[in-house]
Amino acid sequence: MSDLHEPVLGWYDAHARDLPWRDPSASAWSVTVSEFMLQQTPVARVLPVHAAWLERWPTPAALASEPAGEAVRAWGRLGYPRRALRLHAAAVAITERHGGEVPAGYDDLRALPGIGDYTAAAIAVFAHTRRHAVLDTNVRRVLTRLLGARELPPTAVTVGERARATALLPDEDATAATWSVALMELGALVCTAARPRCGECPVADACAWRLAGYPAYDGPPRRVQTYDGTDRQCRGRLLAVLRDAPGQVSRARLDAAWPGAEQRERCLRSLLEDGLVIRTSENTYALP
C-alpha cells in the first residue's frame, strides 16, 4: 500500500489549491473555523466568509466575547446556520477550558460542543499534525474506488473503512497529515462523484474500480437534496430578515418574507427551538 504514497503526495505537491487554512502560518483557530464552514459548503463560498470571520474574530476568545447572534449574523448565507451557533459554543468552551488555545488532542477536541468524530480528527491532523484517519466524503470516495472496487462508499463510515484508512497512513506524523489532505484534494479535484477524471489521476493504474470496469453503484438509493420550497429555504428567508436588521424585527416583517402561513409558522418555531432566534416580545424577534 505504501506504493500509493509517493504518486499521491507528488500529485498534491504539484496541484494543491492555495487555501488560507492550509498556509503554514495558519492558526489552529483558522483551521477550526474552516472545518465548521466547509461542512456541506463549497470552498468558493467559504473563502470570503472565512477571511471576514478571522479578521473580526482572530481568536476563540474574541468570538466568545460576543453574543451568539453575532456569529449567526456573520455566517451570512453559508447555509446550515446551526453551525454558527456550534462554532460559537466551541469558542466559549475553548476559552473556558483551554485558555483560548484550540486543543491538539482528539479526545479534548471531541469533547467540545459541535465537534464530532470527523471534525476532531481533521483539526488534530491539519492544525496540529497528529496522526489520524480523516474520513470526509472525498477521502471515503477515493479509497472506496482505489481499494474497494466500488463507485461510492456506504452512507455511513464503517469499521472496515476506518481500519483501512488508518492502516494506509504513512508512519511519520507530518507525512500522514499531508497524505490525508492529499487524498481529500484528489477527491475534490479529480476523483469526483459524478465525472471522475481518471486520465489525471496519479494512481489510476492501481485503482480497483477502474480495473474492474467501473461497476455502477448498486447500494441503497442516495438522497438527493432539494431546496426550492423547502423548510430549509423558508428558514433561510426568515433568518435573512433578522440578519439584515440591526435589532428587533416585527412579526409582520417575518410574515412578509414567506407566503405560506403554516410552513412559515413551523419554520419560525423550529428556529426558536434551535436557538437561532429569540422572541423579545409578543410580536418581535431577534438573533440571540
Q: Provide the annotated active-site residues.
A: 35
Distance CA 148, CA 141 (A): 10
The answer to whether the beta carbons of residues 203 and 7 sit under 8 Å apart is yes
CA angle 277, 278, 284 (to 5 degrees): 105
Distance CA 255, CA 149 (A): 52
29 phi and psi angles, rounded to 5 deg:
-70, -40
Q: How far is CA 165 from CA 65, 144, 157, 174, in A?
A: 39, 10, 11, 16
Q: Name the amino acid, one letter, at 42.
A: P
The answer to whether the beta carbons of residues 241 and 235 sit under 8 Å apart is no
Distance CA 256, CA 79 (A): 21
Q: Which three cell numbers stand for residue 250?
A: 416585527
Beta strands in the chain, from DSSP E residues, in sequence order: 249-250, 278-281, 284-286
Judged by phi (left if over 0) then psi (alpha if -120 to 50, else beta), residue 67 lies in beta
Distance CA 198, CA 126 (A): 27
Adjacent-strand bridge partners of 279: 285
What does the DSSP 8-state code read for residue 17? -
What does the DSSP 8-state code read for residue 19? -
